[in-house]
């Protein structure tokens, strides 16, 4: 079977016979791979023109809906992905991380996109910046999709998750992709892309696939393209220095190798729950995916006085791991991805063994379940111990990308911090301690060297997602040898594929561009009370200016008694006068907000369905009895909630006193019925 390349929305075979890819389990051929003869330049053009145009025609919410539909479709087909995944050496549990983990990333980005981004084409970055005294000239940062293609180059260890974790934020941003999986496991990625194409959920041009080398693709990149690379540091450095990447300043995100550390706190002695947690966490990280995880624990930093207990406990736990045919459900650890990978891991252990002792594993002779050691790429979990880690180089720099880890003893916390830093930048680190002061010291000492850090103790262990699991909500990436990149992290990951631009102009111009009303922009006469208008009828800028209402001393007394908020500033004239902010008794802030609602609401049954909160509430000036309040309420932003029958409407509320001074300002959040819904109930 020759793997297809998805080029200009058509499946195309590369020239020649191609390279044969073999099963990690029995060495039999699985597929042939070739991308020779592809027109890489046309692929970029196709993505930029058709794919980009199609995706940018959708709002963030529509793209989010698209990701959800895609996730559901892939869920229906996951059985065949699991079946093929065993050929990569993955057990069912490994495949779950890759396949279900990848699909759940689509779900998370879909939901975050619809909850945290507007149902619009422009993403506003923060509030407006006031740039002038009279407020007629303001600034606003906005994000818009880059007008190029996102080239995704992935590592072999997670052929599904590796693709989907990059695809989700990219498509949400409105940017088309060209996916290039690592050759050795590309057959699984290709199968998933086939299902994606068959689903017809993504618009034309939004995804293309290269199975094989990338030819002259890089020679045609421009400043609107992005590269997201996952793989070895050596390849990242080479690609980052490509003349086109340099001359066009092509955005380049690199996720590379990592000598991730897990630190055991001095309190976590044998017999404590934290010690046991550490043993199971390290064992799992060493053996899940046969240790072929960029986030796996490679360095076990532990108090020197319990190092012997630790080695003993880890050796016992590793001895219980059943290695063999990943299709067999009794097996805990499958094979490495290829015979070459197994040879590579063996060589790297040779490098480590010059400075550390092998204390478990390292043998060619071990028991296998339902598999042939000569045909598959099986490897025994191997634990090393380095007596003098502060002066060792290899243990902090050699990555054996398999079930391999080294124990590094420390004498005190400063030494533990120094050892963690010697990894020179990691994707993930963990600390196992029940002493929060130890956790704080270690985090402050090492966070700058990490992209993500996890602190585990008896209180969170049961629900912890574990050291090695990147989550779509949190950033994945790290400084230094981890590549310096950052992926995912919710909407942060979407922004990598967008350009941030500072826009300057009048409040009215910026309100129109961003679809969000800015103070100083036009206030429109709604014609009727704005609460009588449906979602569609409301215009951004529709403004209600209310009557005024005086705040009396009786009101303040009544509010204090009624609510139980008898704080002295509202009830004790002499005490209030001693307060530096007040010159006597003042109205409660919540009284001001309540009176404001009384002034602006239209009480009759109408399209406004509910008030679900306020944002950014600030009390600007005290209100004394005798003051009169009035409100300006302006329709600020509208977000349609799919076909739910309503949309969210955000109102800019400003409460002022008889002198026109602002005393409180905030956003009122409401749900407003659409025309259809309102017609059906009114």
Nearer to ligand NAP, 93 or 214 (CB): 214
Residue 43 in the binding site for ligand NAP (CB under 6 A): no
Contact range with ligand NAP by CB under 6 A, out of 171-179, 232-240, 348-356, 386-394: 232-240
| Minimal distance, residue 415 CB to ligand NAP, in Å | 26
Tokens of residue 528, six digits:
């009727």
Q: Which residues, 6 or more positions from 474, have their beta carbon under 8 angstroms from its beta carbon?
A: 452, 488, 489, 490
Identify residues 400-419 at the interface with ligand NAP (CB under 6 A): 401
Nearer to ligand NAP, 91 or 157 (CB): 157
Residue 225 in the binding site for ligand NAP (CB under 6 A): no
Identify residues 420-439 at the interface with ligand NAP (CB under 6 A): 427
Contact range with ligand NAP by CB under 6 A, out of 229-237, 362-370, 413-421, 429-437: 229-237
| Minimal distance, residue 451 CB to ligand NAP, in Å | 9
Residue 399 in the binding site for ligand NAP (CB under 6 A): yes
Indicate if 294 belongs to the active site.
Answer: yes
Which one-letter DSSP state was computed for residue 33? Answer: E
Nearer to ligand NAP, 105 or 433 (CB): 105
User: Distances from the Cα of 517 to the Cαs of 336, 510, 555, 661, in angstroms?
Assistant: 56, 8, 33, 21
Tokens of residue 89, six digits:
């050496």
Residue 49 in the binding site for ligand NAP (CB under 6 A): no
Which one-letter DSSP state was computed for residue 14? Answer: P
Nearer to ligand NAP, 179 or 653 (CB): 179
Partners of 150 in beta bridges: 177, 226
Using CA atoms, how far apart are residues 454 and 464, in angstroms rounded to an integer?
9
User: Distances from the Cα of 538 to the Cαs of 117, 123, 224, 535, 593, in angstroms?
Assistant: 20, 21, 37, 6, 23
Identify residues 509-538 at the interface with ligand NAP (CB under 6 A): none
| Minimal distance, residue 219 CB to ligand NAP, in Å | 12
Residue 98 in the binding site for ligand NAP (CB under 6 A): no
**Which residue in 294, 399, 487, 635 is the catalytic one?**
294
| Minimal distance, residue 537 CB to ligand NAP, in Å | 49
Residue 637 in the binding site for ligand NAP (CB under 6 A): no
| Minimal distance, residue 434 CB to ligand NAP, in Å | 30
| Minimal distance, residue 495 CB to ligand NAP, in Å | 19
Nearer to ligand NAP, 255 or 652 (CB): 255
**Positive/negative CA dihedral, 272, 274, 279, 280:** positive
Residue 231 in the binding site for ligand NAP (CB under 6 A): yes
Nearer to ligand NAP, 294 or 384 (CB): 294
Residue 156 in the binding site for ligand NAP (CB under 6 A): yes
Could you tell me if 622 and 614 are in contact, meaning their C-beta atoms sit under 8 angstroms apart? no
Per rule CB under 6 A, count of chain residues that contact ligand NAP: 22
Residue 294 in the binding site for ligand NAP (CB under 6 A): yes
Residue 457 in the binding site for ligand NAP (CB under 6 A): no
Among 91, 154, 206, 392, binds ligand NAP (CB under 6 A): 154
Of 601, 597, 596, 593, residue with least CA distance to 532 = 601
Calculate the CA dihedral of residues 51, 55, 56, 61 and round it to 10 degrees: -170
Using CA atoms, how far apart are residues 399 and 617, in angstroms rounded to an integer?
51
Among 67, 153, 314, 592, binds ligand NAP (CB under 6 A): 153
**Positive/negative CA dihedral, 247, 249, 250, 255:** positive
126-160 residues labelled b (16+ CB within 10 A) or e (exposed): eebeeeeeeeebbebbbbebbbbbbbbbbbbbbbb
**Which residue in 65, 165, 255, 486 is the catalytic one?**
255
Among 98, 257, 627, 652, binds ligand NAP (CB under 6 A): 257
Strand ranges, E, within 215-289: 226-230, 251-255, 261-264
Using CA atoms, how far apart are residues 655 and 44, in angstroms rounded to an integer?
53
**Positive/negative CA dihedral, 327, 328, 332, 337:** negative
Tokens of residue 214, six digits:
């990338």
Identify residues 337-366 at the interface with ligand NAP (CB under 6 A): none
Strands 487-488 and 226-230: unpaired
Q: Which residues, 6 or more positions from 286, have their beta carbon under 8 angstroms from its beta carbon?
A: 296, 297, 318, 381, 383, 403, 404, 405
**Site string (166-205) toward ligand NAP, x via CB under 6 A:** --------------x-xx----------------------
Among 138, 239, 310, 371, binds ligand NAP (CB under 6 A): 239
3-state secondary structure of 406: strand
Calculate the CA dihedral of residues 66, 72, 76, 81 and round it to 10 degrees: 70
Nearer to ligand NAP, 381 or 478 (CB): 478
| Minimal distance, residue 186 CB to ligand NAP, in Å | 7
Residue 657 in the binding site for ligand NAP (CB under 6 A): no
Among 104, 222, 232, 328, binds ligand NAP (CB under 6 A): 232
Backbone angles phi, psi at 566, to 5 degrees: -105, 35
Which of the residues are catalytic? 255, 294
Residues that bind ligand NAP (CB under 6 A): 153-157, 180, 182-183, 214, 230-232, 235, 238-239, 255-257, 294, 399, 401, 427
């Amino acid at each position: 079977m020759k793997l297809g390349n998805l080029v200009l929305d058509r499946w195309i075979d590369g020239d020649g016979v191609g390279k044969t890819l073999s099963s990690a389990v029995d060495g039999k051929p699985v597929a042939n791979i070739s991308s020779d003869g592809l027109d890489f330049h046309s692929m970029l053009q196709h993505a930029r023109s058709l794919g980009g145009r199609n995706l940018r025609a959708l709002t963030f919410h529509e793209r989010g809906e698209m990701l959800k539909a895609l996730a559901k479709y892939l869920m229906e087909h996951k059985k065949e992905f699991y079946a093929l995944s065993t050929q990569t050496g993955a057990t069912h549990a490994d495949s779950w991380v890759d396949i279900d983990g990848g699909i759940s990333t689509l779900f998370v980005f879909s939901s975050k996109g619809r909850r945290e981004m507007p149902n619009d084409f422009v993403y506003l970055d923060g509030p407006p910046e006031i740039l002038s005294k009279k407020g007629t000239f303001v600034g606003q940062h906005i994000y818009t999709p880059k007008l190029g293609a996102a080239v995704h180059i992935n590592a072999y260890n997670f052929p599904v998750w590796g693709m989907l974790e990059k695809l989700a934020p990219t498509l949400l941003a409105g940017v088309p992709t060209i996916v290039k999986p690592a050759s050795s496991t590309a057959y699984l990625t290709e199968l998933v892309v086939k299902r994606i194409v068959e689903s017809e959920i993504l618009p034309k041009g939004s995804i293309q696939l290269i199975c094989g080398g990338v030819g002259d693709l890089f020679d045609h990149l421009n400043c609107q393209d992005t590269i997201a690379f996952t793989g070895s540091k050596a390849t990242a450095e080479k690609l980052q220095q490509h003349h086109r990447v340099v001359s066009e300043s092509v955005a380049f995100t690199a996720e590379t190798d990592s000598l991730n550390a897990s630190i055991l706190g001095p309190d976590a002695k044998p017999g404590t729950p934290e010690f046991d947690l550490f043993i199971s966490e390290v064992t799992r990280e060493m053996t899940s995916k046969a240790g072929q995880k960029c986030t796996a624990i490679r360095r076990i930093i532990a108090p020197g006085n319990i190092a012997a207990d630790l080695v003993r406990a880890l050796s016992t736990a590793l001895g219980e791991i059943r290695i063999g045919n990943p299709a067999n459900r009794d097996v805990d650890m499958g094979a490495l991805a290829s015979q070459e990978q197994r040879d590579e891991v063996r060589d790297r252990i040779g490098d480590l063994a010059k400075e550390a002792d092998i204390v478990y594993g390292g043998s060619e002779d071990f028991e296998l379940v339902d598999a042939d050691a000569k045909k598959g790429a099986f490897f025994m979990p191997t634990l090393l111990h380095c007596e003098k880690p502060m002066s060792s180089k290899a243990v902090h720099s050699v990555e054996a990308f398999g079930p391999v880890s080294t124990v590094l003893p420390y004498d005190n916390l400063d030494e533990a911090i120094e050892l963690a830093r010697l990894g020179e930048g990691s994707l993930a680190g963990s600390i196992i301690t029940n002493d929060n002061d130890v956790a704080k010291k270690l985090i402050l000492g090492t966070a700058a060297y990490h992209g993500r850090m996890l602190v585990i103790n008896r209180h969170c262990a049961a629900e912890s997602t574990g050291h090695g699991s990147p989550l779509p909500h949190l950033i994945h990436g790290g400084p230094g040898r981890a590549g310096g990149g950052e992926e995912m992290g919710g909407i942060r990951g979407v922004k990598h594929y967008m350009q941030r631009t500072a826009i300057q102009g009048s409040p009215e111009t910026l309100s129109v561009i961003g679809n969000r009303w800015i103070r100083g922009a036009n206030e429109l006469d709604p014609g009727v009370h704005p609460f009588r208008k449906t979602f569609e009828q409301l215009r951004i800028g529709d403004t209600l200016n209310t009557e005024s209402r005086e705040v009396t001393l009786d009101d303040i007394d009544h509010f204090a008694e009624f609510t139980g908020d008898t704080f002295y500033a509202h009830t004790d004239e002499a005490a209030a006068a001693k307060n530096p902010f007040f010159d006597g008794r003042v109205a409660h802030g919540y009284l001001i907000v309540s009176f404001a609602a009384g002034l602006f609401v239209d009480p009759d049954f109408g399209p406004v369905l509910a008030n679900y909160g306020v944002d950014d509430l600030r009390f600007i000036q005290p209100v004394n009895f005798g003051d009169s309040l009035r409100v300006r309420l302006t329709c600020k932003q509208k977000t349609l909630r799919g076909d739910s029958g309503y949309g969210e409407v955000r109102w800019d509320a400003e409460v002022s006193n008889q002198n026109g001074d602002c005393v409180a300002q905030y956003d009122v959040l409401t749900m407003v019925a659409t025309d259809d819904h309102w017609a059906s109930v009114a």
